[in-house]
Amino acid sequence: MGLEIIILAAGKGTRMHSELPKVLHKVAGKPMLNHVIDCAKKLSPDAIHVVIGYGADLVKTLLSEENINWCLQTEQLGTGNAVQQALPDIKDEQEVLILYGDVPLLKSDTLKTLISDLANNRLVILSAKLNDPTGYGRIVREDKKVQRIVEQKDAENETLKINEINSGILASNAGKLKHWLSKISNKNAQKEFYLTDCIELAVNDQDNVEAIVCDSEEEILGVNDKIHLALVERIFQKRIAKQLMTRGVTLIDPSRIDVRGYLETGKDVEIDVNSVFIGDNVLGDQVSIGANAVIINSQISAGTSIHANCHIENANIGEKCEIGPFARIRPETVLAENVKVGNFVEIKKANIATGSKINHLSYIGDSVLGNNVNIGAGTITCNYDGANKHRTIIGDNVFVGSDTQFIAPVTIGNGATIGAGSTITKDTPEQKLTLSRSKQFTIENWQRPQKKPK
């Protein structure tokens, strides 16, 4: 006897006011359904079945790397009908856990407790006690034993006073579940086949039914609209912030960080407010991230400082570098140790060696810079001729004066000095001063134009 998991993910999510299927809306940078699948995997099930409906092809495409048995619900006839789409693929002796693609905060430990209780019961449901249970199905007990679940729209006043609610998550024997679902009807306010009707049928069959009360109501929060989505996002980010601080990361304000992917951190890392981490990122020991930074799929090595308002994407930053403020490091950039990149500098597809400096208002693209290069303010590598990209190679210990343009392809020899205001179109020799300027002259008796009267 093994465990198989069914995830219900067929709904459109009308209240989301979006063409995107509800379960594909993202929490922490990842579709909600992915979070539920990740949680399910931690239980090591024999199989995961996902019931899809609205936008089925898109859901399958975006989650094509997952090992999933896809089941199609062609009509939205309720949760009971949805489960029936997956059950034919599951043997009667298996245990079945029902999850929902729009409930992304569940923890695997909670589900392990639920499943373990099946040893003593035929059916186990996950409940919670809420101060405001409005909108949820109520769990009706007699002598503390679960008798049935009554949906909000079908409940009488006395039932509505009950604050123990059904999360919708349940575990049962597959054979029993098939039996109960064959008996449910859609004679209710919503004209749907309710999975929850199985509880009363199980009680009538004198099968043991238990409700495990979830310690945290946050775990069972479902997303029905963008307000719920924002609430779940904040809860998820709060969890991540707590994990980071537990690992020793200093967060200047834990409520103002967004991690949309995986963030690996070393010791004594400090992150200022409103920083956003997207994809897979690694921060080495003693890395400092300034306010409003955006870091995407990058590695930042030990001792490096990223000042405020920097944007770094698909880059590898070496040790003890200093970046920003207001710097943009674009894909395929590799910085060695002790590199300085200052304000309003953009770098793309460049390798910059140890100790080099690009301090102000420059663009360096498709380039290789050697050790201890100094790039003056306003320098541009003109790498694009309108059709193709070309490379600029700058040797070790080169000094580049301000307002220089390198017309690639071009190579600057080791130790060369480039005079300010130059446009370099040819390779330059080592250890020489090279400059390119028009002659300066003054026009005598020249007068500035005057505005003509209207």
Confidence of residue 190 (pLDDT cuts 50, 70, 90): confident
> Which of 199, 220, 241 delimits the end of a domain?
220
Number of domains into which the chain is organized: 2
* Side chain identity, residue 189: A
- Give the integer Cα–Cα distance in Å for 269 and 84: 50
Q: Over 159-225, what HEC string results?
A: HHCCCEEEEEEEEEEHHHHHHHHCCCCCCCCCCCCCCCHHHHHHHHCCCCEEEEECCCHHHHCCCCC
Give the domain CATH number at 394.
Answer: 2.160.10.10
- Specify whether 198 is located in the same domain as 50: yes
Tell me the pLDDT band of 440, cut-offs 50, 70 and 90: confident
Residues 278 and 211 in one domain: no
Is residue 173 included in any domain, yes or no?
A: yes
Residues 384 and 299 in one domain: yes
CB 375 within 8 A of CB 392: no
pLDDT at residue 76 in the model: 87
- Residue 448 lies inside a defined structural domain of this protein: no
Is 447 domain-assigned?
no
Q: In the chain, what percentage of residues exceed pLDDT 70?
A: 100
Q: Can you give the pLDDT at residue 66?
A: 93
**Which of helix, strand or coil describes residue 161?**
coil
pLDDT computed for residue 342 by the predictor: 97
Mean pLDDT of 442-451: 90
Q: 337 burial class (0-12, 13-18, 19+ CB within 10 angstroms)?
A: middle
Range of the domain at 93: 3-220
Is the pLDDT at 1 greater than 80? The verdict is no
pLDDT above 80 for 251? yes
Q: How confident is the model at residue 425 (pLDDT cuts 50, 70, 90)?
A: very high
In a domain, 170, yes or no: yes
Tell me: pLDDT of 118 over 90: no
Check which CATH number belongs to the domain holding 60 and give it: 3.90.550.10
CA atoms within 13 A on the CB side of 410: 19
Residue 290 lies in a domain: yes
Decide which of 175, 205, 220 is a domain's last residue: 220
Comparing CA positions, the residue from 371, 425, 420, 378 lying closest to residue 398 is 371
In a domain, 449, yes or no: no
Write out the two tokens for 254: 């834990």
pLDDT of amino acid 16: 96
Q: Is the domain of 268 the same as that of 406?
A: yes
Q: Do 52 and 115 belong to one domain?
A: yes
Question: Has residue 444 been placed in a domain?
Answer: no
Residues 216 and 261 in one domain: no
Residues 140 and 288 both lie in one domain: no
Max avg pLDDT among 158-172, 182-196, 204-218, 368-382: 368-382
pLDDT of residue 225: 96
pLDDT of 215 over the 90 cut: no
Residues 275 and 395 in one domain: yes
Per-residue pLDDT band at 452 (split at 50, 70, 90): confident
The whole-angstrom separation of Cα 364 and Cα 367 is: 7
Per the domain annotation, does 226 fall within a domain?
Answer: no
If asked whether residues 86 and 196 sit together in one domain, one would say yes
Q: Please determine, for residue 420, whether its predicted confidence score (pLDDT) is greater than 90.
A: yes
What's the confidence (pLDDT) of residue 83?
96
Q: Are residues 205 and 320 both part of a single domain?
A: no
pLDDT of residue 422: 96
Same domain, 387 and 310: yes
Residues 213 and 306 in one domain: no
The pLDDT, as a whole number, for residue 353 is 98
Q: Which residues are catalytic?
A: 360
